[in-house]
Amino acid sequence: MMPADQPVLLGVLESGATATENSAEETHATAIAISGLHKSFGSQVVLNGTNLNVASGETLAVLGRSGTGKSVLLKLIIGLQKPDSGSIRIHGQEITRLDLDAMNELRKQMGFLFQHAALYDSLTVEQNIAFPLKRHTQMTESQQRARVQELLASVGMERDLQKMPSDLSGGMQKRVGLARALALEPAILLLDEPTAGLDPITSGEIDQLILKLQKEYDMASIVVTHDLLGAKTIADRIALLHDGNVLIEGSFAELEESRDEFVSEFLKRDS
């Protein structure tokens, strides 16, 4: 079933002011810059001054225990939630103060894969992927069909255009969700638990597909995951959230070398 916030992302732009003001302090190579980010829900502090940067072409995996704010972080970046304080810059553009029209325009630069794929149940595979093309481009019907075919071929689903989501396995749904997330050729890709609920073989296939697509599209990507092996496979860099902050970030090898007790325990229990 599609989550309530899904239409906000898939039907983002009806009109709109563009977000063009760039900060001289940000380099072109920095796709996402997060500084001093705070977010609480009542008395529960989720993010407590989080700092993160993601470069264009880089894949960052965000790890952490359940409830540490990993998915909240993605929702703040995509603008589904507002931070209590702090800065989020997308290609140098501060997004925390954008109005809805400007935020909707910016969202066209970002692809989002929901944890459960969030396909429209009543639409075929072809219609699901064509949805953002119909809403946000001037493509003709034939151009849309060609683009859908291209996207499905890129995820190994080119023979499944007319299937319904209910006809697809969990891994196939993730593939279609990835194809839809790439429909508008985003510069940034956000993935929320891309292998959740999948068996180890299918998880490995999805990891390899993410690697392939990253090379093809050269996007800045953030992958929120509990899958340690997957993070090791697909990420250029890993950030471990703990107590509302990034406790450590670096390569998987650098995390393994850490003498921090929590890092060691986390890697041991999730390996």
Find, among 169, 237, 241, the residue nearest to 206 by Cα. Answer: 169
Choose between 271 and 66: higher pLDDT: 66
How much is the pLDDT for 27? 46
CA distance linking residue 23 with residue 91, whole number of Å: 9
Most confident range (mean pLDDT) of 16-30, 85-99, 115-129 is 85-99
How much is the pLDDT for 270? 57
pLDDT above 50 (res 13): no
Of 23-27, 113-117, 146-150, which gets the smallest average pLDDT? Answer: 23-27
> What is the pLDDT confidence band of residue 12, given thresholds at 50, 70 and 90?
very low
> What is the pLDDT confidence band of residue 19, given thresholds at 50, 70 and 90?
very low
Q: Could you tell me which residues come within 8 angstroms of residue 12 by beta carbon, excluding any fewer than 6 positions away?
A: 104, 105, 107, 108, 135, 136
What is the mean predicted confidence (pLDDT) over 192-210? 91
Domain boundaries, the chain: 26-109+187-271, 119-185
Q: Of how many residues is the chain composed?
A: 271
Instruction: Report the share of the chain in percent with pLDDT over 90.
Output: 76
Instruction: Report the share of the chain in percent with pLDDT over 70.
Output: 89
User: Taking the CB of residue 62, how many other CB atoms lie within 10 A of it?
Assistant: 27
In whole numbers, what is the pLDDT of the chain averaged over residues?
A: 87
For CA atoms 119, 41, 90, 237, the dihedral sign is negative
> What is the pLDDT confidence band of residue 118, given thresholds at 50, 70 and 90?
confident
What is the mean predicted confidence (pLDDT) over 50-55? 96
- Per residue in 145-197, pLDDT tens? 999 999 999 999 999 999 999 999 999 999 999 999 999 999 999 999 999 88
Architecture of domain 26-109+187-271: 3-Layer(aba) Sandwich (3.40)
How much is the pLDDT for 217? 87
- Per residue in 235-266, pLDDT tens? 999 999 999 999 999 999 999 999 999 999 99
Find, among 8, 88, 10, 11, the residue nearest to 50 by Cα. Answer: 88
pLDDT above 70 (res 20): no
pLDDT above 90 (res 70): yes
Find, among 71, 63, 75, 67, the residue nearest to 44 by Cα. Answer: 67
**Residue whose token pair is 């989501």:** 165
What is the mean predicted confidence (pLDDT) over 140-147? 95
User: Taking the CB of residue 258, how many other CB atoms lie within 10 A of it?
Assistant: 16
Cα→Cα distances 36→86, 98, 106, 168, 237, Å: 5, 18, 22, 41, 20
Residue 40's Cβ-count burial label (10 Å; 0-12, 13-18, 19+) is middle
